[in-house]
Amino acid sequence: MTSPLQAESPDSSPDSSLLQVAAVVLAGGLGTRMRSRLPKELQPLCGRPLLRYVLDALAPLPFAQRIIVLSPRKQAVTAMLPEGWHVVWQEEPLGTGHALAQALPALQPTITHVLVVFGDHPLVTSDDLGRLVRAVETERPLVAVLTTMLDDPAGYGRIRRRGEAVAGVVEARDDTAHYTGPVEVVSAATCYDRAWLERAMPRLPRSPSGEYYHTALVEMAAETPWPALPVVTVRAPVESALGVNDRLELAQAERVLRQRILERHLRAGVAIVDPATTYIDADVVIEPDARIEPGTMIMGASWIGAGARIGPYAIVRDSRIGRDCVVIASVVEESELGEGVHVGPYSHLRPGTRLADRVHVGNFAELKNAHVGPETRIGHVSYIGDARLGARVNIGAGTITCNYDGVAKHETVIEDEAFIGSDTMLVAPVRVGARARTGAGSVVTHDVPAGETVVGVPARPLASKQTQKTAEQTEA
């Protein structure tokens, strides 16, 4: 009976003087400890799926081939893979060794080494992986292991040494040793000599749990006669060892990543007043000299211009905030602000809002799918939805665009320099012309021509003084 770990070997080994490395990401585990309907690799982490951090760490390195091993239950993961990644399916969850075996037949003939990276280690960096590959280039071992030192080895495999030489890896469940100091543990990646790996894989033992663990290959390599050291280790920072198996570890990884993000922005010239209460996602771009006040969250693919002041207590998601803008204690979602815009406090810009330069949106205003021209003022307590406002428009307090008739949404258009009085209700579809005016409390149900003033419920044109005088004389 053929072992599930049996892999086909190439007819001939590549020239050992030429290093051709394939990156293999193991992401076949079911992640049951996460207790989520969403695959572990897609769990959100500082605004990105967890797996993307691993892929991004691999991206700058010149791998000859890129392979990811997935469970068939994780079809959704394929949608986020960059171009050039080859998917191999692990039909049964029989451990990391079994997952690695599934990838071997997919290797190109020229591949000389296989870098195995865990898909649930989002804190591993390009520098960590690059140093591991360089160690393989210079020392030519059978196996190179990325390790770190932990005071508490927890569930990580522990490096076992015989003198200075690596003798193997002891899985946490099998380790009965008592430690009085830091313990060297297996971190996020291991690199194998491909020819040796294909010979060794069919001999990989099955654990008492019924699974195959690729860490057993370390002991097999250590016992193999080899001109150089058969196994070498490369030390990585403690953070790199952190894998994510449950919600607690996900939160721990998020804390580390958020600190990295904050440090990157601070060093680039962004003023972050209180990093402890500031949350910035990984894909956010902030220009130097912007200022982020306490209690602020900037999420998704947001962009913040130089000189902008965001917060305190602002939430910005997938939005573009222009230079020298001020957003105080407000929510901005999928919106775009020009330069010198002021928003808040306590306003909400909903998706589709576009504010031109020097627009003012004051207290307790809500805008949705609204395009607002330069220097327009929306002072306070107003709802502007599905609207197009021109330049230098004044929106009085309590103004509402009545955009929904119970069946469909309709648009309100307010042209340049119009003046909308307090508590005006604009029943869409409706247009208010340039320099037109509405009186306080008006209910506008018909278009208002340019320059005209309307008042009342429903709003009607305000008669001129001459017309009023003539009407009074007639009545007399």
445 & 316 share domain? yes
- Residue 11 domain-assigned? no
Indicate the residue among 183, 213, 247 that finishes a domain.
Answer: 247
Q: Is 13 contained in some domain?
A: no
* Pair (228, 282) in one structural domain: no
Positions marked active-site:
380
Q: How many domains does the structure of the chain reveal?
A: 2
Q: Could you list the pLDDT tens digit for every one of the 476 residues in the chain?
A: 344 454 433 333 334 457 899 999 999 988 888 999 999 999 999 999 999 999 999 999 999 999 999 999 999 999 999 999 999 999 998 999 999 999 999 999 999 999 999 999 999 999 999 999 999 999 999 999 999 999 988 888 899 999 999 999 988 888 888 888 899 999 899 999 999 999 999 999 998 888 899 999 999 999 999 999 999 999 999 988 889 999 999 999 999 999 999 999 999 999 999 999 999 999 999 999 999 999 999 999 999 999 999 999 999 999 999 999 999 999 999 999 999 999 999 999 999 999 999 999 999 999 999 999 999 999 899 999 999 999 999 999 999 999 999 999 999 999 999 999 999 999 999 999 999 999 999 999 999 999 999 999 999 998 754 455 554 555 55
- The answer to whether position 256 is within a domain reads no
Please tell me whether residues 239 and 271 are part of one structural domain. Answer: no
My answer on whether 77 and 158 are in the same domain is yes
Q: Are residues 319 and 432 in the same domain?
A: yes
pLDDT at position 232, please? 97
Instruction: Report if residue 472 sits inside a domain.
Output: no
Both 355 and 238 in one domain: the answer is no
Among 203, 218, 247, residue at a domain's last position: 247
Q: Are residues 233 and 268 in the same domain?
A: no
Q: What CATH number does residue 320 fall under?
A: 2.160.10.10
Domain presence at residue 5? no
| Any domain includes 7 | no
**Residue where a domain terminates, one of 203, 221, 247:** 247
Q: Do 336 and 197 fall within a single domain?
A: no
Q: Looking at the structure, tell me whether residues 148 and 272 fall in a common domain.
A: no
Q: Is residue 381 part of a domain?
A: yes
**Residue 317 belongs to domain spanning:** 261-465
Task: Identify whether residues 270 and 203 lie together within a single domain.
Answer: no
Domain with 94 in it: what CATH number? 3.90.550.10
What's the confidence (pLDDT) of residue 474?
A: 54
Q: Which residues lie across from 212 on neighbouring strands?
A: none
470 within domain boundaries: no
Residue 237 and residue 273 in one domain:
no
Q: Are residues 232 and 289 in the same domain?
A: no
> Residue 174's pLDDT is what?
81
